[in-house]
Structure 1
Amino acid sequence: MLSAMTFFAASAGAEPVDERVLTLAEGESRDEAAPFIDYLLEDGDRLGIQEVLDSNITARFAPVERVEAGFGYQDGGVWLRLPVRNSTGKPLERVLHLGTNFMTELEVWQEGAAELELILSQDERSPFDSRPIPYHQLAVSTELPPRETTTFWIRYTSQGATVMPVAVETPAQFTQSISAKLTKDFAFYGIMAMFIIASIGAIIVSPGRLFVSYGLYVLTVLLYLFQRDGYAFQYLWPDAPLWNGFSSLPLGALLAVSAAFFAITYLGVHGLSRRMRTVLIAVMVFQGALVAAALFVDVSRLKQFAVTSTTICILIFLASGILAWRREGPRLLFFVVGWFGIVIASVTMLAYHNLGGELTRAANLDTMRMAIVFDALMMGLAAIAGLLQAQRERAGLLRQRETALREQMKLHDRLASLERRYELAASLAQSSSRRIADTAHDLRQPLYALRAAIKHVTSGTADQQKEIAEIEESFRYIETLVASALETATVDAAENVLDKDLATPNEAGKILSALRSMFRAESVAAEIDFRVVDSSAAFAADAVATLRILSNFIANCIAYAPGKRIVVGVRRDKDKLRFEVHDTGPGIAEYELEQIMGRCVQGEAGKQSAGGTGLGLAIVSEIAMSASLEWNIRSALGRGTVASLSVLSIS
């Protein structure tokens, strides 16, 4: 025992050869002791204190060349040696402050002239109240003998990073640093708490998933940093050291999951692509799998991988925001800027370290805190902007619906008036000429089509506005026919109806649009694939006569070709335009074609169809003859029918 004490005394009394000794005067502290620290990394077996004190091992210690002792991820233990000299003639009370909140194993020996004493011992099973100083970071009080050099030997292992900030402070300085850190940390927590309270208020005012997801995201950020700073072990689970050592992994995963959930909720409002949604869901699943893997894989390896996966997640969130921003525009700018700030902070710190810069652990945490506060603020603004945008869109939709309802009321009024006029025209047709009866026949189909179309005009969307415009075209057509019928209430006037040129020249596109509106609902009811191919061509012919002929063609196709396909379009034929109506129905036998041209004559297919009158093609023949138009019908049993109408083209 005496020989050992003599050895310790000789070791303590002699100054290190390189004079790298932290010398303290009365009232003096040192908050960064790294320039005076030497280190040794265990290579293989664990070393004991007596082995380290052996001169062969001691000679292997090397100076710490960074602002703080930190050696990445290590499987074995890390040894630090810090010689401290009391230059005064009286004992000095000091606090050895280790700026970390938890280590898997930690032992601190104080080697003086007379003895070697273990002054701090903590491991993954030590509860919080076993610490000599009840502080969220590890610290121990000690006394430095007068005019002697005391060497502190520190051994620790970690499942995560091995950064170990070391400071030697006076009790007053330690108390002051505690106060400053608590003030700074809880100011940050207060800001995050305000974000949470604001999200709760927003949920109350505007219930929905958006602010719920934002509140969860901010809450997980707060909980994760509360744990990382060490306050969770001090206040939330002081008697669960094993959980405390493991908790950074599931809490970090929970943070990534809540961020992905917020991204899905927020960006989903703005048309997030299915592929990006799948990627974000995959992020959530992967984080869960990462935590579950702790049952089979060493936790320290998972924590190392979690650092990389966190960076990847941040880049994914930024990429999803950029893709949605490019699609939706400035309203997603807050989301993009928030995650861009996190990326910039991460890249800046990595570059600073890799290029030889020096940042302390506290500076790293402060930088990330600032980035996180900025990100949380941007996410909050993004949520508010999303809410305001949704409200504007709802208000716009309401205005569209109100406009649509007003338009619908107008259409109903016009329809009622039109039906009254139709009834008058039909009654006049009983005692008027045959042409008035034909016109009344033509009116039945458009009126039915208009009733069906008006029933579907309710939402006020862009497509519905287009339908309203097409219905307006149909109304003009029907109103013209009714007016013509009323003007020909006498037999003499009736002879001149079809000679009247209502619109010369005319646009084929308007004719086709009116036909689409007239027969859309009826073709859907008959399960017919009804297609109208638009055209910009112009022609010189009676528009009313053209519409009447084509509507008879289409009405026949719908009646005799249910469940098939009808295509209406225009072809150019030298100086003429040929309107064509194709169907894939059962077709007409050649011997029936001439028969069905007569009035009140139906083919075999017509006789099997309810509601037919046999007037359609007879009316077509008479209208075409009166308007000097050429028409034709080709058909074959089992191959469908093609009806065409030729008019003069205007180039």
Structure 2
Amino acid sequence: FVPAPTQPEGAASLLRSLLVLTASLLGVAVIVAFLFTRELRADVDFVRAEIVKMAEPGASPIGLPIRVRMTDQVGVLTHAFNLLVDRFAAAQRAYQLDLNHAASLDRDRAAFLGALSHELRTPLNAILGFADVLLSEVDGPLDQDTRENLELVRASGSHLRGLIDDILELSALESGQLRLSRNLVDARAVAEDVMREASARVGGKPIELHVDGPSPAYAFVDERRLWQILSNLVGNAIKFTAQGEVRVSIALELGQVRISVSDTGPGIAAKDLETIFDEFRQVGPAVARSKGTGLGLFIARRLVTMHGGTISVESEVDRGSRFHIRLPAWSVDTGGFGGIDGEITATTGPHRLPAVGGKA
């Protein structure tokens, strides 16, 4: 029997030392990793909290930059984010400057148009006044050629005054100076007045003018502006219609008065329906386009919107167009339909105006 050799005491001691050292190093590594992770998480949480503050409602995203607390990857990302915020702030400042400059130019343009229109209207009114005096023959009878020339002067002057009025209306709308004076108004009566005035624009074209619907048809509107809206729509219908009819139809709906202006004109192409109410937008024959500013429908829509109403159009090429206006018929102040407590009775039935240049 031969006994197994035993390890020397020095080797056992070395092994124990290595085990203790390894355990110590692992412990230190765990502690360092824990501290590093905690610090890293603290930095990430800090950056996240600062970004959340920027995203809160009412907070400015271009405030002070986020403080860079370390030079590690989180610090690099924080610095890059600060650069991005700085660029955004510079772009926002430039945008605000451009916006303020555009608003200033718009105010100057509106003021210039208003002043210019007033300066043009004064001599124009004098021209129209003298033309009316001469046509009244207070200074003696006129021969046919002179009368026709004066009629041309008056017609051209009236057209020019209409263009100036459009510019003034646009200036008032854009500057916020236009105010409504709403009352209980019979929309049927206003439509009949508009059609009577519009009959002079028909000329020799075979066009019949009609108004139908309930009477009275009360709307809570500014009477002058309602007349302006309908006059524009009826005028356009007459201008673009060669023959047939122009009709204003009125109906009472729940809390609303619906007014429709239809014609038998050439209609509007589908591609133009979405832009027909845009500023300075004109569609239709070139000859007809040359007689307007392209502001009429734009102003009409703005006026309808100011009343809390809506305006829409439906059209078919070669079949005609129909504009629909819906205006409030309920007065919030009195709590009654059309500003009157109780029920309003209305008698329905078509009303026909005498045709001009065509059959009655």
> With structure 2 as the length reference, what TM-score do the two structures score?
0.43
Larger RCO of the pair (alpha carbons < 8 Å, separation 6+): 2
